[in-house]
Structure 1
Amino acid sequence: MVAAALLLTAGCSAGDGGGPAAAGSAPPSRASSPSSSGPAGERPPPAKGSVEVGRTVATGLKSPWGLAALPGGGGLLVSSRDTGTITRIDEKSGRKTVLGEVPGVSPAGEGGLLGLALSPGFAADRMVYAYFTSASDNRVVRMLYDPKKPSGEQLGAPDTVFKGIPKGFVHNGGRIAFGPDKMLYVGTGESGETGLSQDKESLGGKILRLTPEGEPARGNPFPDSPVYSYGHRNVQGLAWDSEERLFAAEFGQDTWDELNAITPGGNYGWPEAEGRSDDDAFQDPLAQWKTDEASPSGIAEAGGSLWLAGLRGERLWRVPLKGTKAAADPQSFLAGEYGRLRTVVAAGGDKLWLVTSNTDGRGEPKRGDDRIVELTVK
C-alpha cells in the first residue's frame, strides 16, 4: 500500500534543530492551494528512483551551509557558518575564491552565516542575499557582488533587508529562497522558545514571505504581516515543484521530522503536534521520519521528486510526488557514505549538488571534508 510516511526505529534527534528544545505580488495559485493531485496529464514519478554519484566539485570547505548557483555556469557561492565568509567555487576546476566576510555575523551554536539566495534580477543588480545570526537577532541582508575586485573584497557593504527574527543557541532556521513569484521566502526557527511558533505576532517558527526589499508581500494570509505559515519548529528546507507548489522540511524534537506541503496561513502544529495529529486545526506532513533517520536541512526538487539532505540520518531521502502527496514510500540513498548532509540544490535537469556538513562540530570529518558532490538522480 502506498504510504506518505515512513515509520522507522525510534531515537532522539541530535542534528541542527533536533533534540530537546533549549531554555509585492500575490502568491502563485498552484503553490498556495495544495491538492491531492496535479493538473490533468501530470504523471507521478516512478515509485523507485536512483542516485548516481558523479564528480566531487569541491573539497576542503569549512562549515558550509548555504549554496547558490551563479547563472550561466558562473560558479557556486557557498557560505561558511562559522567563518562568516562567502566563497565562489569554480564548477569545473573546484578552484575557490573568497568573495569576502559578511560583517556582523555572530556564530555560536547553530547560528552564524546560513542561507544564500540570488536576487531575481541578479543579471542586472548583482545582489546576493544572506541570512545570518547577529549579536541581537537573525536577519537578512543583501550585498553587491563585484567579481572584478580582488579576492576578499568582492562583497559590497550589507544592506539590511529584514531583521528582528528571534535568535538562540539552537533553532535559528536560516534557509532563504526566491519563489516563482519572485518573492523572498524565509524559514525561521523558534530559537528554543516553543511558544513563539503559535504566536502569529512573532517571527519565530514561521515561513515568511517578503518582497525583495523586505516588506510583507502582497497577498500574504495575514494583513500587513510577513508571516506565510506558522506552527513550525525549525525550517531549514524550502523548495517548489514544477507546478509552483511550496514544500518545506522541518526538524522534529525527538519523535518526528517532517516534510510539509505549505498552505498560506497554515498551522503546522508545533509545539502541540509533532508529526501527524488528530487535530484538524493542524496541517499534517506529507511524509515523516523518526528523527535519527533524517534531521532534514536542505531540500530540492528534481524529476518529480523531493530530495532531502539528512544531518543526523546521514543520507539523502527521495519522496516522489503526486500533487502535494507522496506517490510512494520515501527511499533513502548514500546512507553513511558522506556523513552529515546539509544542503541539496537542483543543478538543472536530473542533476543535484549535495553539500556535506562534517566540520560543523557535530560530525566526524574525513579527509577532504567538507565537500560538494554532483549527483544524477531519477
Structure 2
Amino acid sequence: MTAACGAQPSEESAGPSLVGPTPGDGSTQPSGADDAGPALPAGPTLPAATEQPQDVLTGLDAPWSLAFLPGGALLVTERDAARVLLVTEAGPAHLAGPGAEELVEGTLTDGEGGLLGVAVPPDVGTQDGGRPPLLLYRTTATGNEVVRGALDLTDPVRPRLGPLEVVLDGIPAASTHNGGRLAFGPDGHLYVTTGDAAEPGSAQQPGSLAGAVLRVTVDGDPAPGNPDPASPVWSRGHRNVQGIAWHEDGRMVASEFGQSEVDELNLVEPGSNYGWPEVEGTGGGPGFTDPLVTWPTSEASPSGIAVTGSTVHLAALRGARLWSVDLDAPALEPVATLEGELGRLRDVVAGPDGALWVLTNNTDGRGDPRAGDDRLVRLTPP
C-alpha cells in the first residue's frame, strides 16, 4: 500500500468547484433550525431539485462518501487524497488542521482502500459550540479503523479538524473488499460495514470483524443489545457491504457486492448470517438468510444506498445507474434510472431538502472520466 497522495491540506488549497450557487427555493437549510448558541453553517442555496440531475460540485478526486450536518452543510471524503471537503453557503473548502494532516500522513491507499466513510452523530447541534465530532473510516498500515476528530467550524471558510483518536480498530484491510460505510441508525448507535478483506473465510469466523456489519457506541464500544454483548458484530457472512440505510419503519437494509453471479440487497437483522462464502445470492439453506433482491453483477455493484419513504435507492458502480426498490410493494421490482448518464455511482444520500444527492466515481482508476468528473449531483427521488 502507498501513502495517500495529494497536496497537504491548507486553508489556501484550491478545491472542487461549486456549480452556482443560484438563489432559489431549494436551499439545503432545513426548516426549524435551532438559533440558540453558535450556529452550524448552512449549506449552499440551490434551485429546486428536478427529476433531471443537476450538478452541485464538479472536479472531485475519487469521492467516496457524503454526510450532512444540521444546518445543511455537507461533507465529502476523497478516497485517494485522504481529504475531507466541507461545502457550505460560502462554498467548498478542504479541512485543514492537525486531524487533516494526520489523515494525509497516516491513511494508506491500495486499490479500494483509503479514506472511505464519514458520519456525524445525529444529536449534533449548537451545544457543540461549532465543534461537532466527525467520524471517519480509513485504511492504515495495520488495518481499517474508525477515527474521530472535532470539526472546528467557527470560520466555515477555513474549517479545521482537530487531532484524531481511534474509536474502533482491528478491522482487516486489503486492496479489495474493505467495506467502509458509516451511518448512525435510528437508535443513535454507529453502524460500520466491513468486507472480507480478500479472505472469504473470515466472514464466517466468530472472532473476526471482517465480512460484517458492526454496531457500536460513539466511543467504539459494543452497543447495548448486540447479539453478543462483548462483540461489536451485528450481522456477519457478508462479502463486501458498502451501503446501509433504514426504512421509515426501522427496518435496516444493506447493499452487498457479489463475486461473479449476483449482487444483493439484504434486510439486516441482528445475529443473522448472510452466507458468504458458502453461498452467493439465494439458496443458502438453514442458518443463512437470503437477500431481498439480487442483480447480475454486470448491472449493479451497489455501493452507497439511501431510503426515501419506503423506497431504497442504490448507487451502482459497474452498472452505472441508480436502482430503486419499493420495499412496501407486493413484489420487489427494481427500477433503473440514470442508466449510463453519469457513469459509475458511488454514494447516494437523502438530503434535508428531500432530494437525492449522488456522488459519481469515474476518477477512481476504474471509470471513464468525463469533463467535470467527479461530481456531486442532485435530483428528486424517482
Name the SS for the 2:204 alignment partner: coil
Q: Please, what TM-score do these two structures have when normalized by structure 2?
A: 0.82
Alignment equivalent of 1:195, drawn from 198, 201, 204: 201
Percent sequence identity over aligned pairs: 50
CA contact (8 A) 1:173 1:236 kept: yes
Q: CA deviation at 1:228?
A: 0.3
Equivalence map 1:223-238=2 (5 Å): 223-238=229-244
Alignment equivalent of 2:215, drawn from 197, 206, 209: 209
Structure 1 position 89 matched with structure 2 position 93: no
Give me the whole-angstrom Cα distance separating, in 1, the residues matched to 2:310 and 2:121: 25
CA contact (8 A) 1:310 1:316 kept: yes
CA contact (8 A) 1:258 1:289 kept: yes
CA contact (8 A) 1:246 1:261 kept: yes
CA contact (8 A) 2:247 2:309 kept: no
Alignment equivalent of 1:107, drawn from 109, 122, 127: 109
Name the SS for the 1:148 alignment partner: coil
2:333 corresponding residue in structure 1: 329
Change (3 A) 1:331 1:183: same
Structure 1 position 318 matched with structure 2 position 320: no
Deviates more, 1:51-60 or 1:279-288: 51-60
Q: CA deviation at 1:350?
A: 4.0
Give me the whole-angstrom Cα distance separating, in 2, the residues matched to 1:119 and 1:137: 24
Alignment equivalent of 1:258, drawn from 235, 250, 264: 264
Name the SS for the 1:196 alignment partner: helix
Change (3 A) 1:349 1:86: closer
Structure 1 position 344 matched with structure 2 position 348: yes
Q: CA deviation at 1:328?
A: 3.4
Structure 1 position 71 matched with structure 2 position 77: no
Q: CA deviation at 1:142?
A: 0.8
Q: CA deviation at 1:107?
A: 1.2
Give me the whole-angstrom Cα distance separating, in 2, the residues matched to 1:232 and 1:226: 15
Q: CA deviation at 1:327?
A: 3.7
2:55 corresponding residue in structure 1: 56
CA contact (8 A) 2:349 2:356 kept: yes
2:281 corresponding residue in structure 1: 275
Q: Please, what TM-score do these two structures have when normalized by structure 1?
A: 0.82
Q: CA deviation at 1:278?
A: 4.6
Give me the whole-angstrom Cα distance separating, in 2, the residues matched to 1:364 and 1:54: 19
Change (3 A) 1:253 1:326: farther
CA contact (8 A) 1:356 1:369 kept: yes
Q: CA deviation at 1:88?
A: 1.0
Where does the alignment leave 5 or more consecutive residues of structure 1 unmatched?
1-50
Change (3 A) 1:321 1:56: same
Q: CA deviation at 1:286?
A: 0.3
1:370 corresponding residue in structure 2: 374
1:168 corresponding residue in structure 2: 174
Q: Deviations over 1:105-143 (max 9, x none)?
A: 111110000000002332234001000001111000111
Q: Deviations over 1:251-299 (max 9, x none)?
A: 0000010000001000000000000015121110000000010000000
Give me the whole-angstrom Cα distance separating, in 2, the residues matched to 1:350 and 1:279: 40
1:241 corresponding residue in structure 2: 247
Q: CA deviation at 1:169?
A: 0.7
Alignment equivalent of 1:128, drawn from 130, 134, 139: 134
CA contact (8 A) 2:293 2:332 kept: no
1:20 corresponding residue in structure 2: none
Give me the whole-angstrom Cα distance separating, in 2, the residues matched to 1:251 and 1:122: 32
Q: CA deviation at 1:151?
A: 6.1
**Greater relative contact order (CA < 8 Å, ≥ 6 in sequence):** 1
Structure 1 position 147 matched with structure 2 position 153: yes
Over aligned residue pairs, what C-alpha RMSD do you find? Answer: 1.6
Q: Deviations over 1:334-374 (max 9, x none)?
A: 11100000000011464110000001010010010010111
Give me the whole-angstrom Cα distance separating, in 2, the residues matched to 1:104 and 1:66: 19
Q: Could you tell me which amino acid in structure 1 is paired with residue 95 of structure 2?
A: L
Change (3 A) 1:169 1:302: same
Name the SS for the 2:154 alignment partner: coil
User: What is the count of residue pairs matched by the alignment?
Assistant: 323
Give me the whole-angstrom Cα distance separating, in 2, the residues matched to 1:313 and 1:200: 33
